[in-house]
C-alpha cells in the first residue's frame, strides 16, 4: 500500500509509524515550518512546499509517480481540503469532500449555521462583550472585544462566556458509521485552561445533549475514513454549547494520550481498514496540568499518567 501524508506535524508520527510497521510505502509533504512539526518527518519529506514555494500544486509529478492508495490529511483549512479533494480526483481516488463540506469543515461561521439549523445548542450572540474567532487551530489569535468593534471587522464572533470546562469528543467514521471513541475534559479558571483529563465518562446531562447532537449531525454530514473531534463548552451557568468541529484529532494524539498510551487500541489502524471495537478497555488516564494561565492557546504542561483500575468504554455508533 502506498500512503501519502499531507503535512509533517507531530500528531502524524503515529500514522507514519503504523504505516512503516506494516510495510507500507509512505511519502510526506512538508507544508510549512511550524514549531509543532516533527523534525523526523520534516527530514523524511519527499515534497517540500515550505522550501520550494510550490504550495498546493497538484501538477507535481511526484504524486502520479508514487500513485498513493490512501491520502492522510489532518489539515482542515480550506486550501488543504481543496488540495486533498483535487488530488484525489486527479488520481482517481474516492473522496467524500464537496464544496459544501469543505466550507463546513473549514469555517466556524458555517458550522454555527449548520448547528442552528439542526437545533444543536450553540453559544449565544447577544452580549456587548464578544469573542472574535479565527479559523486557525490551537485556539490562537482569538480576541475579546466590544460587539461594535467585532461588527467592523466582519469576522465571526459569539458571546464571551465564563467557561467551566470544555468536553472534547473523538470519532472515527468509515463512511457509513460514526464511532464515538473517547471523551476528554479541560477545566478552566478565569477563562484559562488549568487541567485536562482523558478518558472520561460524561455526566448524564452532558451526555444527553452530546449524543443528541451527534445523532443530528451524523445524519447531515458525510465523513469517510477520518479521525475527527467535536468540542462542547460548559459555562458557569450550567449551559452546554456546541463550539468547534475539527476534521482531525486533537492535541495529545501524538503522545498516544487517547489510544496507544492508555489502551490496547491504535486509532491510526482504523484509517487502514481496522474496525473500532464495541468496547475499549482503558488501562490508564492522562492528566495534564498547565504550567501557567493562558487565555488563548495552551501553555506548557506537566503530563501525568495514572493507572486505571478499570474503565470499559462503550463505542457507540451513529448512522
Q: What pLDDT, in 10s, does the model give residues 148-188?
A: 888 777 678 899 999 999 999 999 999 999 999 999 999 99
What would the pLDDT profile of 44-84 be if each residue is shown by its tens digit? 999 999 988 889 999 999 999 999 999 999 999 999 999 99
Is the pLDDT at 139 greater than 70, yes or no? no
Is the pLDDT at 220 greater than 60, yes or no? yes
| Confidence band, pLDDT 50/70/90 cuts, at residue 136 | low
> Crossing angle for the helix pair 108-117 and 204-220, nearest 10 degrees?
100
Distance CA 281, CA 294 (A): 33
Q: Bigger pLDDT: 274 or 310?
A: 274
Is the pLDDT at 137 greater than 70, yes or no? no
Distance CA 100, CA 6 (A): 21
Is the pLDDT at 138 greater than 70, yes or no? no
Domains in the chain, CATH or no CATH each: 2-95 (3.40.50.20), 124-160 (no CATH), 162-318 (3.30.470.20)
Q: What is the pLDDT of residue 151?
A: 76
| Confidence band, pLDDT 50/70/90 cuts, at residue 92 | very high
Range from 140-144, 261-265, 290-294 carrying the lowest mean pLDDT: 140-144
The answer to whether 173 and 220 have CB atoms below 8 angstroms apart is no
Q: Which residue has the cell 492522510?
A: 72
Q: Bigger pLDDT: 156 or 28?
A: 28
Is the pLDDT at 214 greater than 70, yes or no? yes
Overall pTM surpassing 0.85 (yes/no): yes
Amino acid at each position: 500500500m502506498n500512503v501519502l501524508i499531507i503535512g509533517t506535524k507531530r500528531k502524524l508520527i503515529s500514522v507514519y509509524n503504523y504505516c512503516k510497521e506494516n510495510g507500507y510505502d509512505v511519502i510526506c509533504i512538508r507544508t510549512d515550518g511550524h514549531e509543532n512539526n516533527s523534525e523526523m518527518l520534516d527530514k523524511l519529506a519527499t515534497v517540500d512546499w515550505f522550501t520550494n514555494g510550490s504550495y498546493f500544486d497538484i501538477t507535481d509529478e511526484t504524486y502520479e509517480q508514487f500513485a498513493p492508495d490512501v491520502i492522510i490529511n489532518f489539515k482542515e483549512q480550506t486550501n488543504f481540503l481543496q488540495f486533498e479533494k483535487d488530488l484525489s480526483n486527479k488520481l482517481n481516488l474516492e473522496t467524500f469532500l464537496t464544496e459544501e463540506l469543505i466550507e463546513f469543515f473549514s469555517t466556524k461561521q458555517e458550522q454555527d449555521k449548520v448547528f442552528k439549523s439542526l437545533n444543536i445548542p450553540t453559544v449565544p450572540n447577544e452580549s456587548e462583550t464578544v469573542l472574535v474567532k479565527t479559523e486557525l487551530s490551537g485556539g490562537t489569535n482569538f480576541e475579546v472585544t466590544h460587539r461594535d468593534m467585532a461588527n467592523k471587522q466582519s469576522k465571526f464572533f459569539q458571546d464571551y462566556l465564563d467557561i467551566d470546562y470544555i468536553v472534547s469528543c473523538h470519532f472515527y467514521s468509515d463512511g457509513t458509521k460514526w464511532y464515538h471513541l473517547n471523551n476528554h475534559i479541560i477545566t478552566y479558571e478565569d477563562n484559562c485552561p488549568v487541567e485536562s483529563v482523558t478518558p472520561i465518562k460524561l455526566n448524564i446531562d452532558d451526555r444527553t445533549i452530546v449524543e443528541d447532537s451527534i445523532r443530528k449531525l451524523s445524519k447531515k454530514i458525510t465523513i469517510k475514513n477520518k479521525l475527527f473531534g467535536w468540542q462542547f463548552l460548559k459555562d458557569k451557568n450550567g449551559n452546554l454549547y456546541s463550539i468547534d468541529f475539527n476534521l482531525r484529532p486533537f492535541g495529545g494524539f501524538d503522545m498516544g494520550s487517547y489510544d496507544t498510551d492508555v489502551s490496547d487500541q491504535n486509532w491510526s489502524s482504523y484509517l487502514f481498514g481496522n474496525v473500532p471495537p464495541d468496547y475499549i478497555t482503558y488501562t490508564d488516564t492522562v492528566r495534564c496540568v498547565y504550567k501557567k494561565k493562558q487565555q488563548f492557546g495552551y501553555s506548557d504542561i506537566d503530563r501525568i499518567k495514572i493507572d486505571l483500575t478499570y474503565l470499559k468504554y462503550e463505542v457507540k455508533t451513529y448512522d
